[in-house]
Structure 1
């Protein structure tokens, strides 16, 4: 009887410790990368993000380095990023935008994405879903406006302004937005050069990828 109780107690403690480890690991996995200016180090810390970006590129055609440059700009890799809330004296006011998550996706665009791709288990705080959204939306931009999926600057302008907003051309007089878009383009080029040096080790790290190159 005593031995049986000891075994049960051991199992309970083991399960509790396992659950605690999983919770801690989940918390670590949601932390922003320590070196956001180096894509190889980003993927070193979060190798599953490489898989997610690679899947989005394969599905939609937008390069990994462009996708990740968007995420860097939009949220600095913070999964629950939101626009700052304005205040009047000590009273919090409504946020100016419904943008949320890694890709700062607004509610209407997110609903359109879910209708087009199925959204029962999708979340703006999931990196895989955020990257897939950017791939889907940049594919729409490419089809509607003819912007190359490698042109991070103009893709970002259309991403920020919307397809109709880009067509209007108002962004041409918005110096702040143009500086931001140029920054995204610079980061994309930087990420692209870095990825050339490390992509193979992420692409080939799974045992079943025997013929990767």
Structure 2
């Protein structure tokens, strides 16, 4: 039965950049990938979105794989099955909204670049806050709006999708867990003067 269901599913492919070794611990992530830490701090300062919220959403969307994308699967190698989308990269941003982001910030960006993907997510969430009134720290509802789009969220399309509510709750729980972890290690993550200085170099 599992084999049959597997043939009917839409798969996820792509893992050019290795994800963090311990994705369940944000302190471990930031220690392993220092460039991610600096990117997260810059994005938080720019957009005022708590860094733990997009990290929890990114974990759900891509598992921190850089070039993951959806692909159509086939039944008996002939019949196409599953919905294909243009979602791509760390943030699983679709073409249309990614292009809106590019026009908004005046920068091309790259969905396989962690800093660009994080900036996109924070940009999206600040607009969710402005358009739908969702607090920036409310990971559950931010994720629902991220998944359904601003119009869909305001229409409440997620209410007919119990599975999505469960996923959003998982994102909310992960964001809270990340926050608890980060609060304990934030001071130890702060860079030395030279590390901070070099982090700003191109």
TM-score range, shorter chain: 0.7 to 0.9
Normalised by the length of structure 1, the TM-score is 0.80
1:34-55, CA deviations, whole angstroms, 9 ceiling, x for partnerless residues? 1111111111111110111111
Q: Confirm or deny that 1:98 pairs with 2:97.
A: no
| Equivalence map 1:47-196=2 (5 Å) | 47-91=34-78, 93=80, 96-120=84-108, 122-196=109-183
* Contact 1:82-1:101 within 8 A present in 2 as well: yes
- CA drift at 1:111: 0.3
SS at match of 2:18: coil
Higher helix share: 1
Higher radius of gyration, 1 or 2: 1
The residue number in structure 2 matching 1:20 is none
* Structural RMSD (CA): 1.9
Normalised by the length of structure 2, the TM-score is 0.84
Unaligned 5+ runs, structure 2? 1-15, 198-202
Unaligned 5+ runs, structure 1? 1-28
Higher strand share: 2
- CA drift at 1:95: 5.4
Aligned residues: 181
Query: Following superposition, which runs of at least 4 residues in structure 1 exceed 6 angstroms of deviation?
Result: none
